[in-house]
Amino acid sequence: MIEISAEGSGRPVEVGTRSRVPDTLPVLPLRETVPLPDTLMPLAIGQERSIELINNVLAGDRLLVMVASRSPELETPGPDELHDVGVVGAVARMIKVPDGSLRILVQGAQRVKLTEWVGELPYLVARVEELPDVVRESPELTALTRNVQETFTRIVELVPYLPEELQLAVANIDDPSTLSHLIAGSLRLPTEEKQGLLEEVDVGRRLRRLVEVLARELEVISIGTEIQSQVQSEIDKGQREYVLRQQLKAIQDELGEFDESVEEARELRDQLADVQLPADVRKQVDRELHRLEQLPAQAAEHGVIRSYLEWIAMLPWGVSTEDDLDLVHAREVLDTDHYDIEQVKDRILEFLAVRKLKPDARGTILCFAGPPGVGKTSLGKSVARALGRKFERISVGGVRDEAEIRGHRRTYIGAMPGTIIRALRDAGSDNPLFMIDEIDKMGADFRGDPSSAMLEVLDPEQNATFRDHYLDVPFDLSKVMFICTANDLDRVPGPLRDRMEIIQLAGYTEDEKLQIAKRYLVPRQIERNGLKKSWIGFGDKALRRIISDYTREAGVRGLEREIGTICRKVARGVAEANGSTTPKKTTVTPERVRELLGRAKVHAEAKRRTQTPGVATGLAWTPVGGDVLFIEASATPGTGKLQLTGQLGDVMKESAQAALTWVKANAHLIAPELGDAWFADHDVHVHVPAGATPKDGPSAGITMATALASLISKRTVREDVAMTGEITLTGQVLPIGGLKEKALAAQRNGVKTILAPALNEADAEDIPEHLRKRLRFVWVAEIGDVLAAALQSPA
Instruction: Identify which of 79, 115, 76, 108 has the alpha carbon closest to the alpha carbon of residue 92.
Output: 108
Give the whole-angstrom CA distance, residue 206 versus residue 197.
Answer: 6
83: region left, alpha or beta (phi > 0 left; psi from -120 to 50 alpha): beta
Torsion angle of C-alpha atoms 726, 727, 733, 736, degrees rounded to 10: -10
10 Å CB burial of residue 88 (0-12, 13-18, 19+) is: buried
H helical segments located in 274-413:
279-294, 300-314, 327-337, 342-357, 376-387, 403-406
Beta bridge partners of 627: 620
Task: Give the span between the Cα atoms of 166 and 149, in whole angstroms.
Answer: 10
Q: Cα–Cα distance between 280 and 94 in angstroms, integer?
A: 64
Say how many CA atoms lie within 13 Å of 382 toward its Cβ: 21
CA 99 – CA 565 distance, rounded (Å): 70
Count of positions (residues) in the chain: 795
Whether residue 633 contacts residue 684, with contact meaning beta carbons closer than 8 Å, is answered with yes
Please confirm, yes or no, whether 699 is among the known catalytic residues: yes
Quick check: helix, strand or coil at residue 413?
A: coil
User: Of 177, 180, 382, 699, which is the active-site residue?
Assistant: 699
Residue 184 burial (C-beta neighbours within 10 Å; 0-12, 13-18, 19+): buried
Torsion of CA 728, 732, 738, 744, to 10 degrees: 120
Query: Strand order of the sheet with strand 682-687?
Result: 642-645, 682-687, 625-637, 615-622, 721-723, 753-757, 776-780
Tell me the CA end-to-end span of the chain in Å, nearest whole number.
Answer: 126
Beta-bridge partner residues of 754: 722, 777
Please work out, in degrees rounded to the nearest 5, the angle formed at the alpha carbon of residue 451 by the alpha carbons of 446 and 456. 120
Let me know: does 516 contact 703? Beta carbons within 8 Å: no
448 forms bridges with which residues in the sheet?
445
Contacts of 394 (CB under 8 A, 6+ apart): 419, 420, 423, 434, 435, 436, 437
Which of 644, 635, 641 minimizes the C-alpha distance to 614? 635
Give me the amino acid identity at 701: G
CA 343 – CA 340 distance, rounded (Å): 9
Catalytic residue among 194, 345, 513, 742: 742
Helix (H, G, I), strand (E, B) or coil at 86: strand
CA separation for the pair 732, 730 (Å, rounded): 6
Q: What is the DSSP letter of 767?
A: S
Q: Kindly report whether the peptide bond that precedes residue 122 is cis, defined as omega within 30 degrees of 0.
A: yes
Q: What is the dihedral of CA 241, 244, 250, 254, to 10 degrees?
A: -160
Pairing status of strand 85-96 against strand 63-68: antiparallel
Q: How many CA atoms lie within 13 A of 236 on its CB side?
A: 4
State which amino acid sits at residue 28: L
Half-sphere exposure of 450 (CA within 13 A, CB side): 26
| Burial label, 730 (beta-carbon count in 10 A; 0-12, 13-18, 19+) | exposed
Strand 682-687 vs strand 642-645: parallel, antiparallel, or unpaired?
parallel
> Which uninterrupted H or E stretch holds 561?
helix 557-576
> Which SS3 state, helix, strand or coil, does residue 726 take?
strand
In whole angstroms, what is the distance from residue 364 CA to residue 371 CA?
23
Distance CA 715, CA 457 (A): 57
Residues known to be catalytic:
699, 742
